Structure 1
Amino acid sequence: MRVDARGFTFDVTVEGPATATAVVLLLHGFPQNSRMWSGVVPALHAAGLRTVAPDLRGYSPGARPDDPAAYTAAEGAADAIAILDGLGETAPVHLVGHDWGAIIGWHAVAHHPGRFRTWTAVSVAHQSALNFALDTDADQRKRSEYVGFFRIPGRSEDALLEDDGRRLRAIFADAGLDDAGIDRYVAPLLDRAALTGALNWYRGLRRDAPELPPVTVPTTYVWSDGDLALGRTGAEKCGEFVTGEYEFVELPGVSHWIPDQEPKRLAEIILARVL
């Protein structure tokens, strides 16, 4: 369905039993879309939960502002809450986010804790933990070098769109996806405007952004040791920035693409936090 929120129109997939008494909001990351949760949601529905999975700002054609400054975690969090309001979901919900969806989610639970019952962050740690790793760990700085390239307007689009999105497809080399699985993410981004919208999340990044406060919402952080972008330093630091109930789950031998590689295991982790 389409949901009007904050002057934009978001594409949102709403699924689950009509008798559901709780809602799980699912936030995707780069360079994916809401379909990344397709392997996770069946178990959530079977447990009696309703799921709400929007295509984020920049990915939804009706929510694609031109100014990269409009792509911040604060704006993403405000979008998520406005989408819930647009669906009539005013009671606290369970929140799950991967990659950029995790960055947005950390901001949402830190600044709007009353809107969320639980929080499951996948791959990306609390902003303060990641900043610590960037400041102290040469390995994390090396892993994050790609961000600088994504921030270059025009040049990064040209490179990623070349040869039918060959470099975009290569991003998923360690995900274990077949060609059809990769294409469900890459095909929408072959539209240059869509790719620019997705890359604008990187262009809106500011290292001088205010530090996030500690998170009080019950939290599970899921990290995989095969993640090429996010190292152990930030992952193990994350718990220092959660004052509520906290669990750190490490998945050995799994890449950054946890919802694609281990959807059933991730669903079990989410349900352990939610139920």
Structure 2
Amino acid sequence: MPQSANTPSTPPASPAAPVPRPPAGPLPEAVHRTVEVPGGRIHLVEQGSGPLVLMVHGFPESWYSWRHQLPALAAAGYRAVAIDVRGYGRSSKPRDVAAYRMLAHVADNVAVVRALGEETAIIVGHDWGSPIAANTALLRPDVFTAVALLSVPYAPRGGIRPTEAFARLGGGGEFYINYFQEPGRAEAEIEPGVRDWIAGFYVVASGDAKQDAARPGSAQDHVAHFSVAPGGKLSDRFPEKLPLPLPWLAEADLDFYAGEFERTGLTGGLNRYRNVDRDWEDLAAWDGAPLRQPSLFIGGEHDAPTNWMADAIKAFPHTLPGLSASHILDGCGHWVQQERPEEVNRLLTDWLGSLPGTAA
């Protein structure tokens, strides 16, 4: 693709330096590294050899959200790499809110591929990682040959400023993405009790949240579940008693996530939300652009973004002309690859094996 003022250029390759494994780190066969990127450094975890598959997590997660996919993809003959997105874990955490714009994440992903000595990669994203992956493939099809999106369907840049569109949502309250816009506001809610807040957020968005056993399935219901009442907090929506551990989230898993955010804070992750309007301006040249590479979508029956973006899924024939398949997993919530690891691993490896020139 020809470069433009808004398209990240490819940075020079830099060596991928091994770094010490985090204390009591999982996945003993995996290798932890940091690589240089335009904005500083990206921490990554890799396992296996073969065609490169780059995995990008969402909020509030880390590379650890791909703990089930790393060994599975490695065993299937792929070089599986999961990053800590900038602002998370052991990756750089710029202070400037604008440093978390979409173009910066695209540049990070390109730099990771180059630093690992590769020319091309397949990219997989979940939650915020899904639009990061989609835009990375959109802007740099020369590097990213295929894209898999989990939970959040691809929706091209449209004609309405995002915060204006989100202001129309909320079910009588303030939609959580707008609630996250003001620096410091969500941090004041979360950081006094990081572990409890993260646990509540994971539970309320999961498919097996007990308070949602009879949850209605309309998009409006899912939107309302993530709105903030006037003068309230997002955590007011969390159940009073959390049904932990969940089948997919052990206490040790929660400890790992909480430990990362207790060390780093939540600002880096929240700053991604604070760039939605900036992204809309940056990506004006790609308004309505389809994503043409081979693609895959996996969502959950009870996944809020999958439900409230149902129209985006219906538009896939136009927006994802290279779509191989779209799967909605029965009973699954938002944390797709963690809640249903075996099913997601099978869908991913089957899809990867079908891609021209990338079969392991």
C-alpha contact 1:120 1:273 (8 A) present in aligned 2: no
Q: Percent identity?
A: 27
Does residue 216 of the first structure (1) align with residue 248 of the second (2)? no
The 5 A counterparts of 1:26-175 are: 26-90=55-119, 92-128=120-156, 141-142=169-170, 145-173=175-203, 174=206
**SS of structure 2 residue aligned to 1:253:** coil
Cα distance in 2 for residues equivalent to 1:169 and 1:239: 37
C-alpha contact 1:129 1:238 (8 A) present in aligned 2: no
1:23 counterpart residue number = 52
2:14 counterpart residue number = none
The amino acid of 1:155's aligned partner reads: R
Note the alpha carbon deviations across 1:97-120, whole angstroms, 9 max, x for none: 101111111101111112123211
2:275 counterpart residue number = 204
1:8 counterpart residue number = 40
The amino acid of 2:38's aligned partner reads: R
TM normalised by structure 1 equals 0.88
C-alpha contact 2:157 2:280 (8 A) present in aligned 1: no
Does residue 265 of the first structure (1) align with residue 343 of the second (2)? yes
Q: Give the number of aligned pairs.
A: 267
CA shift, 1:12, in A, is 1.0
Query: Where has structure 1 moved over 4 Å in runs of 4 or more?
Result: 129-132
Cα distance in 2 for residues equivalent to 1:194 and 1:86: 27
C-alpha contact 1:77 1:104 (8 A) present in aligned 2: yes
Q: Cα 1:245–1:198, aligned 2, differ >3 Å: closer, same or farther?
A: closer
Question: Aligned-pair RMSD on alpha carbons?
Answer: 2.5
Cα distance in 2 for residues equivalent to 1:5 and 1:201: 18
Note the alpha carbon deviations across 1:181-209, whole angstroms, 9 max, x for none: 22222221123x53111111011111743
1 or 2 for the larger relative contact order (CA 8 Å, sep ≥6)?
Answer: 1
Bigger Rg, structure 1 or 2: 2
CA shift, 1:229, in A, is 3.8
CA shift, 1:55, in A, is 0.5
Deviates more, 1:163-172 or 1:72-81: 163-172
1:256 counterpart residue number = 334
Cα distance in 1 for residues equivalent to 2:114 and 2:289: 24
Note the alpha carbon deviations across 1:207-249, whole angstroms, 9 max, x for none: 7432352111100111112113442333333442112243211
- 1 or 2, which has the higher helix percentage? 1
Q: Cα 1:149–1:270, aligned 2, differ >3 Å: closer, same or farther?
A: same
C-alpha contact 1:61 1:194 (8 A) present in aligned 2: no
Q: Cα 1:197–1:58, aligned 2, differ >3 Å: closer, same or farther?
A: same
CA shift, 1:150, in A, is 1.6
- 1 or 2, which has the higher strand percentage? 1
Q: Cα 1:230–1:152, aligned 2, differ >3 Å: closer, same or farther?
A: farther
C-alpha contact 1:129 1:235 (8 A) present in aligned 2: no
The amino acid of 1:194's aligned partner reads: G
Cα distance in 2 for residues equivalent to 1:71 and 1:111: 17
Gaps of 5+ in 2: 1-32, 208-245, 354-360
Note the alpha carbon deviations across 1:23-73, whole angstroms, 9 max, x for none: 111111110000111112222111111111111111144511111112122
C-alpha contact 2:337 2:344 (8 A) present in aligned 1: yes
Q: Cα 1:34–1:40, aligned 2, differ >3 Å: closer, same or farther?
A: same
Q: Cα 1:264–1:213, aligned 2, differ >3 Å: closer, same or farther?
A: same
**SS of structure 2 residue aligned to 1:162:** helix
Note the alpha carbon deviations across 1:128-181, whole angstroms, 9 max, x for none: 38989x89x99x933881111222211211101223442222011126312222
